[in-house]
Structure 1
Amino acid sequence: MSELNFATTIEAVATAVPDRPAVVHGARRTDYRALLDRSRRLARYLHDHGLGCFAPRASLAGHQSGQHFLAQYLYNSPEYLEGMLGGYLARVAPFNVNYRYVPEELRYLLADARPRAIQYHARFAPVLAAALAGLSAERPVLLQVADDSGEPLLPGAVDYESALASVPPSVPAEPSPDDVYALYTGGTTGMPKCVLWRQADVAVTGVGLVNRRAGREWDSVAEVVGAIGPRAGRMLPCAPLMHGAAQWGALLALCTGNTVVFPDQVHRFDPAGVWDAVARERVTQMSIVGDAFGRALVDELARHPRDVSSLKFLVSGGAALQPSVKEGLASLIGGLRLMETIGSSETGVQGAAEGVDKSFHADSRTVLLTEDRSGFLAPGHPGTGWLASRGRVPLGYLGDEAKTSATFPVVNGERLSVPGDRARLLADGRVELLGRDSVTINSGGEKVFAEEVEAAVKRHPDVADAVVCGRPSARWGAEVVAIVAPRSGATLSADALLANCATTLARYKLPKEIIFVDRVQRSPSGKADYRWAAARALLRG
């Protein structure tokens, strides 16, 4: 069983293939030698300012951290990956910040995490200044990464490049498999929470750093390095690195000697720019987040074909990818292997489906809990249960002992991760995912899974995007509402859409109202914003 940490692994890879490109962003090329040098300098700088590990993992509860935190308030960039690796080298825990936050939301996050350092792009300086003004905690170290915004340095901030140049590239600490990997949830149904993992655990269950050929975990860092191929694969994460799946894909690429490619445009999702980068850089693997990315990519490639034959593998996770989108991608890219995964920040990958299959082959660690969470459901059980993971699961939620106990219960002497997804376990062991319980709608005594209705709505060819939520109802308790963005130029009526949904949904699941909008609001990672949807539905209620 492997007990790896990201810092030691990537450092060993960089030593083995120093001249190989590690990160490509437009005209910028950062090889592994430069990535390691710059990350070591950041580690030194953080260490010299008092950041690091101050308590051993064994002395702490699951919701506690013995390491200082580094907030990463950045667009996708080489600096983001330097911040992650530099933090790990210093035994500091980097964490993701949603760059769309307004000052009040950012203030909540910073108060919750209490970072001792913040690495941020200059264009975010005004929002950061407003957020910091409302905090009583000690002012953190501010590392401002220059961009084309023209924003001056905040008072007390240090230019990122100047900080790196001021210290030698000497590693100040000895990283451990017990070191924390910190990831904030998206907060689309409530306030974001910071999930704490041991690096050795998330490396296996989230990142997928395993010996796939042998079907086991790596024995050592030396074995990982020994498996590096003669040529680097090229991996492009479409989603922002503030999304866990994008981070995991990038970390896997760096831990295995491959190259991370960013499209030129990182301030927003630009499907044309993504395909341009795939064609120009001969990208071999790409990750997306469901329909919000997939539909736009299909439409762009169909309108403006390019030579993207280098792309051999595409993986989608974090949101549903409809069969029509999968078929569109497969028809446009010959020989493409397309994989859809299920999982969460709290579980890592729990299962995968290849091609247009709608059910998922469960990971060996994936189980289904009974309604009362007292035992397990056998394959083929007709009822629904809680989708759970066993084995390598997170430590807990930062600072929240009660939520840690609720989400990571002990069942029959075994600690599990149960983030709230409902599912069925089919007779052949496959998983039929129904959706997150927090967005389930209890209408007239029946449970309606919002994501199941969303899938039915999106099957109509004139629907570009949709999100489904509940709304209070005097008659039903709660009623189903669909918020729908039609395809450009399409004429779509509510009656036609309901008739189409009725071919796959029971009558009680059909939306009581369909609200047409120009655009469905989603997070930058492509996940549905259910709080926005609920507010939009109430406006019409």
Structure 2
Amino acid sequence: MSRHFNIADLYEMVADKVPTRDALVCGDQRATYIQLERRANQLAHYLAARGVGAGDHVGLYLFNCNEYLEGMLACFKLRAVPINVNYRYVREELEYIFNNADMVACIYHREFAPHIAEVIEASPLLKTLVYVDDDSGADPNTIGSQAYESALANQSEARDFPERADEDLFILYTGGTTGMPKGVMWPHKSVFFAAMGGGGWYHPDGAITEPEQIASRVGDFSIVGMALAPLMHGACWWYACIQLLAGNTVVLNPAHSLVGEEVWDIAEKEKVNSVTIVGDAMAIPLLESLDANPGRWDLSPIFNIGSGGAVFSESKQDAFKAYFPNAFITNSFGSSESGSMGLDGGGKRGQGLGNVQRSDFMSVLVEEGGQWRHARPGETGVFSRSGYIPVGYYNDPEKTAKTFIDVDGQTWLLLGDEARLEEDDSITVYGRGSNCINSGGEKIYPEEVEQALKSHPAVFDCLVVATPDERLGSKVTAVVAARSGAALNLASLQAVAREHIAGYKVPRELHLVSEVPRAPSGKPLYPRALELALSGEHRAS
């Protein structure tokens, strides 16, 4: 049977090379490569017995845990597709993703049983439910679920699955233009090379050229890497795959929130070598805990602190350098659609979000006369990628057509970030060209928040903008015109918003104005709304 650039194939070859090496640590949970392999095989056989097969979608509705990656591998072994479900979603968002993703099965933490019960009738394909136990006390029997360990019991550990393919899909759900999640469809080969370094992340010879070479990239000693984001986000999920396909050890944060002292306790205990964060939202509490506890931890094994997925400010990078003078600090560019777009070159500090080198697969595109072309030096356009890219958005052909375009006979992906092609052929990235708000790595779309706010009886009109926040980079801020004679405060607005959207999308500031700025056509004037918010003259408590 031939091997492919398929994550299941690649993992199996690595597991055969280092079966007894630690693969995964999450709190009290530990697994070697062979243990992870065997349990994934057992879960795959259970799912297959339930009718799950090639192309079927299986939800992973879980906090960080070993079962998350067991579930991922089990799906890939069957040529099925794991679907990441954001555990912060509320009913409307959950109903959308369960239905949009065409899930036939879902593996979830027990406490989410009541949430699934609310949306299961809108998910006619969902027939198999497996719960990972916790101390929530929720009743999984109300939705006919099987306990995870019972599902694995008596299942075969054998690796006897059909041949896989490079084109099998890895779907990553992320925020959409309407605020609802969209599924980015990555062929395994493309995501392996675009987001996971092609097996060459830790090897001087770089990316592999044949699948069978993956075992040769495994080092003599494990590099222990800690990913601090939840696995439900691409930044952590992909990093975990990078580690596993390099024969290294993945350490996950078992907590449901980030507490600096707890993170450094784990880092010291596990002798972590590399810490991966998502921008300043994580950098700030980590640095604050170091400031408050001088000399408390032996963190000498750490040789890298890297960030991706959100703004990692120069001041926070400098602060980490002061604590870890012998470590290298990395600030990577990328997204759910692009994978890794390279590391900030650091040559233009204070300009934009960073600077990367132009290449055959990375460019700046400019729209001119309804046609797209490559930017000339000095021009500003849209940061774009070609080569190993996704094939589109699941169940969204309209969005796919707008995002994946042809330029000179080559397919390019428009990333939406504004960028400039410099005279030295590098690219300076300035950030989202649209009104998308990036708050601590979470994508938040104003239109969705505005719709939720308008359900408040006292709201006449509103716009939502991003205002600066030291920890999160940006925070959601509402500029609202109240109905005549109605009283409105921030707490009341937040309470209503939480009925419709996840907590991280709820406004953190409220500015009450007499009239929301709009053009005569009714289109929103976001720049003017931002000016009103930044002035502070209309802020309400």
Measured against the shorter chain, the TM-score band is 0.7 to 0.9
Distance 2:154 2:36 in 1: 17
Code of the aligned partner of 1:359: G
What count of residue pairs does the alignment treat as equivalent? 466
Code of the aligned partner of 1:156: G
Distance 1:129 1:468 in 2: 27
Consecutive unaligned residues of structure 1, counting only runs of 5 or more, are: 54-66, 441-449, 456-466, 473-477, 488-510, 522-527
1:29-80 superposed Cα distances (whole Å, 9 cap, x missing partner): 2111110000011111111111111xxxxxxxxxxxxx00010000111000
**Is the contact made by 1:195 and 1:346 (CA closer than 8 Å) also made in structure 2?**
yes
Of residues 325-334 and 349-358 in structure 1, the stretch that sits farther from structure 2 once superposed is: 349-358
Matches within 5 A, 1:444-463: none
1:139 CA displacement = 3.4
**1:175 aligned onto 2:164:** yes
| Counterpart position of 2:51 | 50
**Is the contact made by 1:302 and 1:332 (CA closer than 8 Å) also made in structure 2?**
no
1:84-120 superposed Cα distances (whole Å, 9 cap, x missing partner): 1111001110011000111221011101001111000
Of residues 297-306 and 230-239 in structure 1, the stretch that sits farther from structure 2 once superposed is: 297-306
1:190-240 superposed Cα distances (whole Å, 9 cap, x missing partner): 211000010000001012224355565312233220121111111111000
Distance 1:379 1:468 in 2: 31
**Is the contact made by 1:420 and 1:436 (CA closer than 8 Å) also made in structure 2?**
yes
SS in structure 2 at match of 1:223: helix
From 148, 151, 155, the counterpart of 1:160: 148
**Is the contact made by 1:189 and 1:529 (CA closer than 8 Å) also made in structure 2?**
no
From 91, 97, 105, the counterpart of 2:79: 91
SS in structure 2 at match of 1:418: strand
**1:127 aligned onto 2:127:** no
Distance 2:19 2:301 in 1: 24
| Counterpart position of 1:147 | 134
Code of the aligned partner of 1:142: L
**1:225 aligned onto 2:215:** yes
| Counterpart position of 1:492 | none
**1:279 aligned onto 2:268:** yes
Consecutive unaligned residues of structure 2, counting only runs of 5 or more, are: 451-461, 472-477, 481-488, 495-501, 517-541
Counterparts in 2 of 1:124 and 1:256: CA distance versus 1, 3 Å: same
Code of the aligned partner of 1:257: G
1:468 CA displacement = 12
**Is the contact made by 2:268 and 2:299 (CA closer than 8 Å) also made in structure 1?**
yes
Code of the aligned partner of 1:75: F
| Counterpart position of 2:329 | 338
Matches within 5 A, 1:293-442: 293-305=282-294, 306-353=297-344, 357=349, 358-362=353-357, 364=359, 365-372=361-368, 374-378=371-375, 380-381=377-378, 383-439=379-435
Counterparts in 2 of 1:337 and 1:85: CA distance versus 1, 3 Å: same
Alignment RMSD: 3.3
Distance 2:28 2:508 in 1: 43
Distance 1:189 1:296 in 2: 31
Counterparts in 2 of 1:327 and 1:379: CA distance versus 1, 3 Å: farther
**Is the contact made by 2:88 and 2:503 (CA closer than 8 Å) also made in structure 1?**
no
Code of the aligned partner of 2:281: A
**Is the contact made by 1:409 and 1:417 (CA closer than 8 Å) also made in structure 2?**
yes
Runs of 4 or more, structure 1, over 6 Å off, are 467-472
Matches within 5 A, 1:516-535: 532-533=506-507
Distance 1:340 1:286 in 2: 12
Code of the aligned partner of 2:421: L
Q: How high is the TM-score relative to the length of structure 2?
A: 0.79
1:268 CA displacement = 1.4
Matches within 5 A, 1:179-198: 179-187=168-176, 190-198=179-187
**Is the contact made by 2:57 and 2:102 (CA closer than 8 Å) also made in structure 1?**
yes
**Is the contact made by 1:422 and 1:436 (CA closer than 8 Å) also made in structure 2?**
yes
Code of the aligned partner of 1:135: A
Counterparts in 2 of 1:486 and 1:198: CA distance versus 1, 3 Å: closer
Q: How high is the TM-score relative to the length of structure 1?
A: 0.79
**Is the contact made by 2:168 and 2:187 (CA closer than 8 Å) also made in structure 1?**
yes
Counterparts in 2 of 1:379 and 1:427: CA distance versus 1, 3 Å: farther
**Is the contact made by 1:184 and 1:195 (CA closer than 8 Å) also made in structure 2?**
yes
**Is the contact made by 2:479 and 2:511 (CA closer than 8 Å) also made in structure 1?**
no
Matches within 5 A, 1:11-22: 11-22=12-23
Distance 1:384 1:537 in 2: 33
| Counterpart position of 1:208 | 197
Counterparts in 2 of 1:537 and 1:234: CA distance versus 1, 3 Å: farther
| Counterpart position of 1:4 | 5
Distance 1:421 1:163 in 2: 44
